[in-house]
Structure 1
Amino acid sequence: MTKRHLSADRAYRDSVQPRTGEVRFQVAVEQTDLLVVAEADMRHEMAAFVALARGEIKTWIMFHPEFAASLTPVHVPDTAPDIIRAMAGAAALCGVGPMAAVAGAVAQAVAERFVARSPNLIVENGGDIHLCSTRERVVALLAEPDSGARLGIRLEAGAFPVSICSSSGTIGHSLSLGSGDLVAVRAKDARLADAAATALGNLLRGPGDIQRVLDRAAQLAQCGLGGVFAQCDSKIVAWGDLELVALD
């Protein structure tokens, strides 16, 4: 699941099939639209929690509009809400604005709040995913329209929690200053993965920029970035802790 080939109705979600003992449901609160796979349907409790998280973010922005507008890191005080400080911290590490981490921040906040009730819990927020699992998972990356090839990232049973977040300069509604087809980032922390995907996506403006992306990824590895997948035109590269698998 990524922003690659993301349509307005999020039709890519149709391919997500829960395993035995799991259910799939949607949580929609204003502009936040989550797909959740869990061991129980918790949509109402999650919706209430998302509303609270959104309220904290919206209230902060009301009094600090630069938090939403800035494309560069913004300092926030230690008294700011946890989700605000987490977004700002991840953005500072990656050199982007704090809203670059908002989707990952919400996904991780929901997962952390409810994982005690469902050890197998996947929260997808517009192509950014935070996963908690007791078993191996495969996250689909993209479908090549010309060849029909489909790739995924295999996540071993002992890897969780883990996040896969993506950025695209050609697909989806999220702001990207690059023009590459896809950058997907693996990290333990969804806020970092989300901000890093944006930062690396901004660098990818052509196939010749792949090495710049890899060099920056190596720097961010010191902050917790685990792996990167990047595609621009016909050039594809994977770096770090990524096991790519072909999907049927």
Structure 2
Amino acid sequence: MSYKRFKLIYKETIATILAENEEFYKIAVKAVLEARSEIERYAMRNPLFLISYEPIECDASGVVRRMCDAAKLAKVGPMAAVAGAIADFAVEKMIENGAKFAVVDNGGDISIFTDRELRVGIYPTSLAFVVPQGKRLGICTSSGKIGPSVSFGFADCATVIAENACIADAFATALGNRVKEDCNLEKVVQDFYEEFHDHVIGVLVVKDDAIVFAGEVPRIEESKVDPELITKL
């Protein structure tokens, strides 16, 4: 069964949604707005939630609690998990309503539920992950050179694969922060995976001409990435 590609732009959210039909897309949009509303309401009560670069205590549940829990594991601020958390929430709502295939790419932080083989481009390379059918996981990326998100590192891309996008998003930020300009990239990637292998499935970093990975990453193939398919403004 084929799928349709939709784009959602709302405030800071710039998302690509892959769904079997428009009804599942509408479910995803409703979920994105619901998750954003929950986050915005909590941030009004606790402004530190928006600006902290370190884990904080959260007296919350739902999407906000997931963000805070992921941040604590990865040792970053809760907003490091925001895009992945929203993507997860949308995919979960699609699944609850019967979707067999659901992908939400929230600015490069991707929540996946797939009943077919799926290719996920590794920007800015000409490579792609090949995600096998039957998978539910998150693939999230941080960059010190591309995009508006805050990173204290110098990676072209620091990508983490985890059981969900909220976890992957937080750890992608943490991984990207460790990639300094003159670092030993292989050591950084291997040390990171060894420290956090209980929480992440695999990691990959692209820096200049080097590509280093550790753990279990999906099969990687040469793949021409259409720039029009990259989730951006």
TM over 0.5: yes
Counting only pairs closer than 5 Å after superposition, residues 6-17 of structure 1 correspond to structure 2 as none
Contact kept in structure 2, 1:91 and 1:98, CA below 8 Å: yes
Match of 2:150 among 175, 182, 204: 175
For structure 2, the 5+ residue unaligned runs are 225-233
Distance in 1 (CA, whole Å) between partners of 2:158 and 2:182 is 12
Contact kept in structure 2, 1:28 and 1:47, CA below 8 Å: no
Match of 1:56 among 38, 53, 56: 38
Distance in 2 (CA, whole Å) between partners of 1:52 and 1:101 is 16
Amino acid at match of 1:246: E
Counting only pairs closer than 5 Å after superposition, residues 78-97 of structure 1 correspond to structure 2 as 80-97=60-77
Partner of 2:228 in structure 1? none
SS at match of 1:222: coil
Partner of 1:128 in structure 2? 109
Distance in 1 (CA, whole Å) between partners of 2:222 and 2:127 is 5
Partner of 1:156 in structure 2? 132
Amino acid at match of 1:155: V
For structure 1, the 5+ residue unaligned runs are 1-19, 145-149
1:195 aligns with 2:170: yes
Partner of 2:16 in structure 1? 35
Contact kept in structure 1, 2:27 and 2:93, CA below 8 Å: no
Distance in 2 (CA, whole Å) between partners of 1:39 and 1:228 is 29
Distance in 1 (CA, whole Å) between partners of 2:174 and 2:196 is 10
Contact kept in structure 2, 1:24 and 1:41, CA below 8 Å: no
Contact kept in structure 2, 1:128 and 1:164, CA below 8 Å: yes
How many Å apart are 1:28 and its aligned residue?
Answer: 2.6
Amino acid at match of 2:68: A
How many Å apart are 1:107 and its aligned residue?
Answer: 0.3
SS at match of 2:213: strand
Amino acid at match of 2:54: T
1:245 aligns with 2:221: yes
Q: Percent identity?
A: 34
Match of 1:112 among 73, 88, 92: 92
Q: How many residues were matched structurally?
A: 220
Distance in 2 (CA, whole Å) between partners of 1:86 and 1:35 is 22
Contact kept in structure 1, 2:27 and 2:90, CA below 8 Å: no
1:229 aligns with 2:204: yes
Amino acid at match of 1:200: L
Partner of 2:227 in structure 1? none
How many Å apart are 1:29 and its aligned residue?
Answer: 2.5
SS at match of 2:40: helix
How many Å apart are 1:118 and its aligned residue?
Answer: 1.7
Contact kept in structure 2, 1:227 and 1:241, CA below 8 Å: yes
Partner of 1:218 in structure 2? 194
Match of 2:52 among 70, 74, 92: 70
Amino acid at match of 1:23: K
1:176-196 Cα distance to aligned partner (Å, 9 max, x none): 000121111111111110000
Amino acid at match of 2:209: S
User: Could you tell me the TM-score, scaled by structure 1's length?
Assistant: 0.84
Structure 1 pair 188–111 and aligned structure 2 pair: CA distance change class (3 A): same
Contact kept in structure 2, 1:132 and 1:162, CA below 8 Å: yes
1:21 aligns with 2:16: no
